[in-house]
């Protein structure tokens, strides 16, 4: 039996508009339970596991390291947390002799970033099975070099990357996430606008689509993997005290037949819960009846990546969707009464007319909560390979999706003031 310590990084993204121009409204704050770590912990039943969420307990690291004396430390994080993940790894190495393992979406898309002396292993992909395999190998002191998805760091030398396995076996469905490990933080995970406790459930991994900017491909190597309906129902049932469930999948409805079955199972389950889930606009248009059934089952809001306003821009980002689909989906969802959280991406190439156009679009359509980000070439994505030559800011602390890391067409201060004004106007009448 080993002591396994899993760490979720603190809020650490930086903001160019705040630092240079005093515009603080664009700073990103992440909040939500560290489901990826709870899933890992669910497959480590033979060990003693603790989770530290530094977003909820920012000063807990030293205390926990001294108290727990871990054998293995796992650190997850997204791209804007990557520098902090390395700092945390160095702090762990200074304080104890634990093996340090890095995982998460940035590690999966750009493992070379973590080829560092403070890191022993990098786990790429979903990790639930692979991390447990690695812990087993470490405990028995056996060779780790053939473990798919596990990379031994070699600072100063190129990483050798074993092939990533992408099958439903990696979801280890027979073992649910260990939600108990974060119960002391549960009050931090709320929908701020409503003051309602929010529980996270994963029902699907990856996405069948290939948008250039999207980092989700790294999670599964491009596959779309789904949990069985019974598994999803079981996991939701574990969150007894959470009246609202966020299905955290990048695309909950990527397989329409399964999504219809899941909606019906939710209805039959008798849970008195509400759900938030991601869907594409073309799926809404193709399956309005499915959305009506989901509404009956408790679907309160959908998150849709509308991204841009015209077909040429959508095509340039390989969205494989049309502006008319976006318009029709808005009208269908308004009609059914499902709240729309709409994602839009502002390009650093936006000029005054582009901002005006997006502002008009948002004021003339009923999108209940627009979410507006700046197009960011995240390392490991096709967009990064395309735009690499234009990047002027390589500090990943700024890759929060609210900073321009390439040059802006407008004067930079003007770009951020228009962006901030757009966000403020569109949130004035926000509903969720």
* Residues engaged in binding ligand SF4 (CB under 6 A): 207, 209-211, 214, 216, 250-251, 280, 305
Smallest gap from residue 340 Cβ to ligand SF4 (A)? 15
Instruction: Name the residue nearer to ligand SF4 (CB basis): 209 or 287.
Output: 209
From CA 248, how far away is CA 13, in angstroms rounded? Answer: 21
Express the helix, strand and coil content of the chain in percent, nearest 5 each.
40, 15, 40
Q: DSSP label at 196?
A: E
Shortest approach of ligand SF4 to residue 321 CB, angstroms?
A: 8
Q: Which is nearer to ligand SF4, 113 or 253 (CB)?
A: 253
Minimum CB separation from ligand SF4 for residue 414, in Å?
28
Question: C-beta of 211: minimal distance to ligand SF4 in Å?
Answer: 3
Closest approach of Cβ 215 to ligand SF4, in Å?
A: 8
- What is residue 198's three-state secondary structure? strand
Distances in Å between the Cα of 316 and the Cα atoms of 105, 208, 211, 232 are 24, 18, 9, 35
| Residue 330: closest CA among 340, 319, 343 | 340
**Joined tokens for residue 317:** 């980002």
Minimum CB separation of residue 298 from ligand SF4 in Å reads 23
Between the alpha carbon of residue 430 and those of residues 176, 193, 305, 306, 329, the distances in Å are 35, 10, 17, 17, 19
CB atoms within 10 A of CB 156: 8
Residue 240 near residue 197, CB atoms below 8 Å: no
């Amino acid at each position: 039996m080993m002591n396994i310590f899993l760490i979720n990084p603190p809020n650490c993204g930086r903001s160019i508009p705040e630092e240079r121009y005093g515009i603080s409204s664009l700073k990103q704050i992440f909040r939500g339970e560290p489901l990826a770590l709870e899933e890992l912990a669910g497959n480590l039943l033979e060990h003693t596991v603790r989770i530290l969420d530094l977003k909820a307990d920012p000063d807990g690291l030293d205390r926990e390291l001294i108290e727990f004396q871990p054998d293995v430390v796992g650190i997850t994080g997204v791209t804007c947390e990557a520098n902090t993940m390395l700092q945390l790894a160095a702090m762990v190495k200074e304080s104890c002799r634990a093996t340090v393992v890095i995982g998460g979406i940035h590690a999966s898309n750009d493992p070379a970033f973590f080829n560092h002396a403070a890191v022993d292993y990098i786990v790429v992909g979903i990790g639930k099975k692979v991390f447990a395999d690695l812990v087993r190998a470490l405990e028995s002191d056996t060779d780790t070099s053939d473990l798919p998805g596990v990379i031994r760091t070699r600072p100063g030398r190129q990483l050798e990357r074993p092939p990533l396995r992408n099958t439903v076996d990696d979801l280890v469905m027979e073992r649910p996430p260990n939600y108990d490990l974060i119960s002391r933080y549960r009050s931090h995970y709320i929908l701020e606008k409503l003051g309602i406790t929010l529980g996270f459930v994963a029902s699907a991994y990856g996405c069948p689509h290939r948008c250039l900017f999207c980092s989700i491909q790294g999670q599964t190597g491009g596959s779309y993997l789904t949990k069985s309906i019974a598994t999803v129902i079981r996991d939701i049932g574990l969150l007894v005290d959470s009246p609202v469930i966020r299905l955290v999948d990048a695309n909950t409805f990527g397989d329409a037949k399964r999504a219809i079955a899941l909606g019906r199972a939710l209805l039959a389950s008798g849970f008195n819960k509400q759900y938030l889930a991601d869907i594409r606009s073309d799926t809404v248009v193709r399956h309005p009846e499915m959305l009506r059934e989901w509404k009956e089952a408790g679907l309160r809001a959908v998150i849709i990546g509308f991204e841009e306003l015209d077909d040429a821009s959508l095509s340039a980002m390989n969205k494989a969707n049309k502006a008319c689909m976006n318009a029709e989906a808005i009208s269908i969802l308004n009609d059914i009464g499902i709240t729309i959280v709409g994602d839009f991406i502002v390009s650093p190439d936006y000029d005054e007319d582009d901002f005006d156009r997006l502002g008009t679009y948002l004021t003339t359509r009923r999108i209940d909560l627009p979410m507006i980000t700046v197009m960011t070439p995240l390392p490991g994505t096709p967009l990064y390979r395309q735009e690499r030559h234009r990047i002027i800011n390589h500090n990943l602390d700024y890759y929060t999706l609210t900073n321009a890391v390439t040059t802006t067409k407008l004067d930079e201060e003007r770009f951020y003031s228009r962006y901030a004004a757009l966000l403020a106007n569109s949130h004035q009448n926000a509903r969720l």
